[in-house]
Structure 1
Amino acid sequence: MCWAPVEPSTTTDSTTDTTTETSTETSTTGPGLCGNAVVDPGETCDDGEDCGDGVCNSDEYTGEKHCNATCNGLYPGWCGDHSVQAPEACDDGEETPTCNADCTSVECGDGILNPSAGETCDDGVDNSDAYDDTPDQLACNTACTGTAPHCGDGVCQESHEDTTCADCTCGDGIVSAPETCDDAMATPTCDADCTPVECGDGHHNPAAGESCDDGNTIDDDACRNDCTTCGNGILQAGEECDDGNVIDEDACSNECIKPRLVFVTGAKFDGNLGGLTGADMKCGTAGMAADPNLPAAAWRAWLSDDTGSPSTRFDTAFSGWYLLVDGTPIAKGWSDLTDGTLAAAINLTENGAAPGLPKNTWSNTTAAGATASTEHCDNWTTTEFDPKGRIGDATATNTNWTDLNDADNNPFTCSAGLHLYCFQHTP
């Protein structure tokens, strides 16, 4: 019975020793501890063996800074170390305009947002330039500079949007329903409210020649039914005059256009007029008596040759009255002057007197104001007997006034002294 107690005592000592040895082995550094994600004595690093987050003990490139497989140092290469190694395309140490933070080259559509490269978005393969009217699902555009076009982006997409979208407004220069025009301002064809120009629509459009537009059909109020204010006695834009009356043939027509004077020169000239320019100067000199307030350049001779004619040298857009110096109406506007019939003969000189005999004028001009023939005294530069020059009759109101229908006397010798018709060319 004495040995029995000894044996347990021996067993107890042995167990205690074993426990001590096991504890010592557990705390001793060795190869088996590299990979437990704990930097044990003798190790310089230990990222563990789980590579799920891209970081683990490895002797291979992972893109991240990590411990090597033996836990005695870092693997020498990673994205951000300023050294390019496969599979890196670049490595600037950080995001730059040419290199992404993951060491790939910058490319719109790679799904990596790179603000330093000017990208404001990048949805990768979902980038699109297609119109999308659901703002909560907007894709990045294919330039990575913003979202795909949509209502609310500040740009009117004419093919998709109308004025129900706040981006489309009258004046943006884009025709969007229900607009019928949009010139971004009032123009000769489009009102400022993006409707076609129409006198009487209540939209005053000076660009279209409207002096006013009161939107009514009352013709004798401040704004007439043709959108003019002529006749109210107030000179306004587009009016040469406004005498406040409805007398058409006086000093101001019912269209508020000043009349222009016409006379036949009191002096007579041979066929050497100095060309059309010389004839104009002769009219300018005589015109000082007809109206001293007009410059000499305001007058044109009714004369044609190879270099020009009234149809090419006169104000053919004029629509006011041509009057003799005593106020007698001759014709209203160019169209009436050239229709073959005058209201009265041009038979008064610049001084209001009757011209001397013969009452004929140098002309070579048709009733339409065009060159009549080649019979123009060698372009009005000669007094020779031949060639000759065609003439008009200052007593006539039919086409004879400009081209006398008399084969015996028309054309006439260039040595003869005849009158000139002179027309006021400018207001």
Structure 2
Amino acid sequence: MCGDGVILAGTEECDDGNDVDTDECLSSCKAAICGDGQIQEGVEACDNGGDNSDTAYDGCTTQCQLGPRCGDSEVQVPQEECDDGSPDGDDLCNACKNVAFRYVFVTSQIFKGDVNKLNGADSRCIVAAAELPAAEWTAWLSDDVQSAAVRMDTSFMGWYILPGPEPILVARDWAGLTSGTLQNPIHRDEQGNPVAGDALAWSNTKTDGKILSLDAASHCNNWDSNTGTSSVGNPNATDAMWTNEGIVADCNSLHHLYCVQN
């Protein structure tokens, strides 16, 4: 009988005395072959039986190997928009779909607190981003009337990345940017170069993008004076200190601006 370890001539193709279906002899005493619907361990990557196909997306080939799928480094149209071989990576091809993205950076130049108000800060971001894709640029800055969040597109669902030869993920969507924890610090300038380890950036903004303080001492008199003080953020931080280091800086001192593609 099948399973007794003795091959019955003319009836059984094999008999290894077990009921395991992943070895070379099935529990039915038939020899394992590609297409039998059982995955032979160490030999086959898959086996969909009669559904094996060399063209089915995310299927199993007639050789019982994985068919065309996300992660094979070949773009399969129409299912895929891209395929870089790493479907789960933090790059701009994620799950074989192109990820919408916007840049965020800290300016290479440093400025005193009088940046000619919020509009002047935005203009400085536009100038800094001249070699990046044409877009609206907004400084991550709040005065006593307008917060950074009010001035930005809070509905954005793509990724915020740093400029540079290899994109670095800062946050997944607006919620990620304002969560209080960044994936990577905003420590590159508009050219993709790292800023100094002791760099600071003007802010007066909470992690959620709202105004940190209405007090003129926290925003250089609405970013229109070099007298007084203002809160600053740390570009090398990934926690809440990226936007609020917990200290104030003299408005006559020189610091960076955060710029966000909006």
Higher strand share: 2
Q: Deviations over 1:20-59 (max 9, x none)?
A: xxxxxxxxxxxxxxxxxxxxxxxxxxxxxxxxxxxxxxxx
| Residue 383, structure 1, aligned to residue 226, structure 2 | yes
**Shift of residue 220 of structure 1?**
5.4
Q: Deviations over 1:151-202 (max 9, x none)?
A: xxxxxxxxxxxxxxxxxxxxxxxxxxxxxxxxxxxxxxxxxxxxxxxxxxxx
Structure 2 gaps, min length 5: 1-55, 60-69
Equivalent residues of 1:253, 1:259 under 8 A apart:
no
Quote the residue 2:207 is aligned against: 367
Match 1:242 to one of 62, 76, 81? 81
Match 1:335 to one of 158, 170, 175? 175
Quote the residue 1:355 is aligned against: 195
Quote the residue 2:101 is aligned against: 259
**Shift of residue 235 of structure 1?**
8.8
Equivalent residues of 1:360, 1:393 under 8 A apart:
yes
Q: Counterpart amino acid of 1:301? A: A
Quote the residue 1:325 is aligned against: 163
2: CA distance between counterparts of 1:321 and 1:233?
Answer: 24
2: CA distance between counterparts of 1:360 and 1:235?
Answer: 46
Please give the TM-score of this superposition, normalised by the length of structure 2: 0.64
RMSD between superposed Cα atoms in Å: 2.8
2: CA distance between counterparts of 1:366 and 1:380?
Answer: 17
Seen in structure 2, the aligned counterparts of structure 1 residues 316 and 242 have a Cα distance that, compared at 3 Å, is: farther
Higher helix share: 1
Higher relative contact order, structure no. (Cα contacts within 8 Å, ≥ 6 residues apart): 2
Quote the residue 2:236 is aligned against: 395
Quote the residue 1:312 is aligned against: 150
% identity of equivalent residues: 36
Seen in structure 2, the aligned counterparts of structure 1 residues 248 and 321 have a Cα distance that, compared at 3 Å, is: farther
Aligned partner of residue 123 in structure 2, secondary structure: helix
Count of paired positions: 186
Quote the residue 2:250 is aligned against: 413
Structure 1 gaps, min length 5: 1-217, 222-229
**Shift of residue 389 of structure 1?**
1.0
Equivalent residues of 2:201, 2:235 under 8 A apart:
yes
Equivalent residues of 2:231, 2:249 under 8 A apart:
yes
Match 1:300 to one of 138, 154, 166? 138
Aligned partner of residue 149 in structure 2, secondary structure: helix
Please give the TM-score of this superposition, normalised by the length of structure 1: 0.40
Seen in structure 2, the aligned counterparts of structure 1 residues 421 and 235 have a Cα distance that, compared at 3 Å, is: farther
Equivalent residues of 1:358, 1:418 under 8 A apart:
no
**Shift of residue 281 of structure 1?**
0.8
Q: Counterpart amino acid of 2:190? A: E
Equivalent residues of 2:83, 2:93 under 8 A apart:
no
Point out the structure with max Rg over C-alpha: 1
Equivalent residues of 2:115, 2:121 under 8 A apart:
yes
1: CA distance between counterparts of 2:233 and 2:115?
Answer: 16
